[in-house]
Amino acid sequence: MDVNEFLEGSTLTGRQAALIFILFLLLIIAAGILLILFSDIFRAFA
């Protein structure tokens, strides 16, 4: 399966769409946690 075919969405099943959505949500949450942790670290050094 080509990446372009996969991202096109015509062959995307409900399970694949849900998995992509959950992975995207986890990525956003992880980035938020990292930002909070690093902001605390930078505030400690300032």
Joined together, the tokens standing for residue 44 give 């400690």
Q: What is the dihedral of CA 3, 29, 37, 43, to 10 degrees?
A: 100
* Predicted pLDDT at 9: 61
Question: Can you give the pLDDT at residue 27?
Answer: 98
pLDDT at 36: 92
Tens digits of per-residue pLDDT, 1-46? 566 666 666 677 888 889 999 999 999 999 999 999 988 877 877 6
pTM confidence score: 0.61
Please state the domain extents for the chain.
3-45
Query: What was the pLDDT predicted at 8?
Result: 67
- pLDDT at position 13, please? 84
DSSP string, 9-24: STT--HHHHHHHHHHH
